[in-house]
């Protein structure tokens, strides 16, 4: 007999699906939150009359359970932990631990991809094109490679996971992976996903108007309250406001915080770690602890939402060689323009600010971080230029 304890997200469920393909009715699978795993491990060690082979995937245990599992293993217990989070690398010190952040080719791994390799290597699962395609979709979504590769199939797979029950998702995937040559979405699923895309777009438009920004521990954070579509929301807000280091998504009802970033220079797993959480460099999370509540809720609740850039401009556009005009709540105007091929400068009240920037984005980030600006609408831009010309004449 086998027992699998895995995470309750797409990557964790992917491991459960592979386990059921391999062991069929000889495996018990339980999906857990990060906090729930340790309770399951304690019950396993205390109450299992005949301990089955224990797999732990996409999660790692706390220090107390790590010691208990080591003692269990030394007494002849069978256990294999498989993870891909860098915060779990110390489990490689144990014979029963296997943690890899990247594969031999330098690609980011997922728990599903690592578990699939394990099962193949130990002759516990027969490989197939369909299973490999499914595993790769899970890997790309979990590591955000889908965004880099514009892999919409991976995005659809995660959306479907949230649209139907966990048991129905498992059942559908197991049947498909057993009986198909290639992975696909059926006609009903495609229609369902199309409707969901429209719903997500509306949700993101609404949440864009609720985002606030602040500086926390040296990073500029965008903060928004949301209970749904965290990955899609974090990704879109990150691209919409690239001057922000990361997006913090607060689920007050669930008492959780999700962190997302689009920047390679920011590791949100370290930010989550400050509050007792963890995850990936670009997607992580934590429980809404008292410290997190203070930083992300209490200290920011009175802030006004970030104003959106003008969207339908013809003349006042970003990266224009003629310059771009920004304004803020104090009705101050800033003019960002290229001084030459190498420098961008900012002018305020006809005076150049004593800073220069190598790119337009650097200049815009400076304005949005330090002056709370947004791209002005065309008519304000034209009025500004007309007033400037009149004064000059």
Return the closest-CA partner of residue 57 out of 23, 18, 93, 22.
18
For 72, the enclosing helix (H) or strand (E) is helix 63-74
The CATH architecture annotation of domain 209-298 reads Roll (3.10)
Express each pLDDT in 297-338 by its tens digit: 999 999 999 999 999 999 999 999 989 999 999 999 999 999
Report whether pLDDT(388) > 80: no
Q: Which fold has domain 2-185?
A: Rossmann fold (3.40.50)
User: CA 119, CA 19: separation in Å to the nearest integer?
Assistant: 9
Interstrand relation of 351-357 and 333-338 (parallel, antiparallel or unpaired) = unpaired
Q: Which residue has the tokens 């010309």?
A: 389
- Domain residue spans in the chain? 2-185, 209-298, 324-392
Express each pLDDT in 193-217 by its tens digit: 999 999 999 999 999 999 999 999 9
Return the closest-CA partner of residue 27 out of 1, 53, 61, 64.
1
Report whether pLDDT(71) > 80: yes
pLDDT at 147: 85
Cα 83–15–271 angle (5° rounding)? 40
The model carries a pTM of 0.79
pLDDT at 28: 95
Sheet holding 324-327, edge to edge: 351-357, 344-348, 333-338, 324-327, 374-375
Higher pLDDT, 110 or 349: 110
Q: Which residues contact 312 (CB under 8 A, 6 or more apart)?
A: 378
pLDDT at 279: 83
Report whether pLDDT(389) > 70: no
Neighbours of 112 (CB within 10 A): 30
pLDDT at 50: 73
Which is it for the CA torsion 32, 38, 41, 47, positive or negative?
negative
């Amino acid at each position: 007999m086998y027992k699998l304890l895995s995470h309750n997200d797409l990557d964790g469920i992917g491991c459960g699906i592979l386990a059921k393909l391999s062991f069929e009715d000889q495996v018990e699978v339980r999906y857990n939150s990060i906090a729930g795993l340790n309770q399951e491990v304690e019950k396993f060690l205390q109450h299992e009359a005949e301990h089955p082979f224990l797999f732990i995937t996409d999660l790692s245990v706390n220090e107390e359970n790590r010691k208990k599992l080591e003692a269990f293993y030394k007494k002849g217990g069978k256990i294999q932990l498989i993870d891909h989070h860098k915060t779990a690398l110390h489990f490689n010190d144990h014979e029963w631990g296997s943690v890899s952040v990247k594969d031999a080719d330098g690609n980011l791994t997922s728990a599903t991809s690592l578990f699939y390799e394990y099962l193949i290597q130990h002759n516990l699962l027969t490989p197939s094109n369909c299973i490999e395609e499914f595993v790769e979709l899970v890997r790309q979504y979990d590591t955000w490679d889908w965004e880099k590769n514009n892999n919409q199939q991976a995005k659809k797979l995660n959306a479907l996971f949230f649209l139907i029950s966990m048991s129905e998702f498992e059942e559908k995937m197991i049947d498909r992976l057993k009986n198909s040559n290639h992975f696909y979405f059926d006609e009903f699923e495609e229609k369902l996903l199309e409707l969901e895309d429209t719903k997500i777009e509306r949700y993101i438009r609404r949440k864009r108007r609720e985002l606030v920004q602040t500086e926390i521990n040296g990073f500029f954070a965008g903060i928004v309250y949301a209970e749904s579509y965290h990955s899609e929301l974090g990704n879109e807000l990150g691209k919409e406001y690239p001057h922000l280091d990361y997006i913090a998504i607060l689920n007050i009802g669930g008492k959780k915080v999700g962190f997302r970033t689009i920047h390679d220079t920011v590791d949100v797993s370290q930010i989550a770690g400050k509050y007792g959480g963890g995850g990936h460099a670009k997607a992580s999370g934590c429980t809404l602890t008292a410290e997190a509540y203070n930083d992300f809720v209490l200290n920011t609740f009175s802030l006004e939402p970030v104003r959106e850039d003008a969207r339908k401009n013809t003349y006042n556009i970003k990266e224009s060689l003629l310059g771009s005009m920004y304004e803020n709540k104090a009705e101050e105007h800033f003019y960002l323009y290229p001084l030459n091929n190498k420098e961008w400068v900012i002018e305020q009240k006809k005076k150049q600010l004593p800073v220069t920037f190598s790119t337009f984005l650097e200049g815009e980030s400076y304005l949005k971080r330090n002056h709370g600006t947004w791209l002005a609408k065309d008519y304000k831009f034209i009025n500004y230029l007309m007033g400037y010309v009149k004064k000059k004449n």
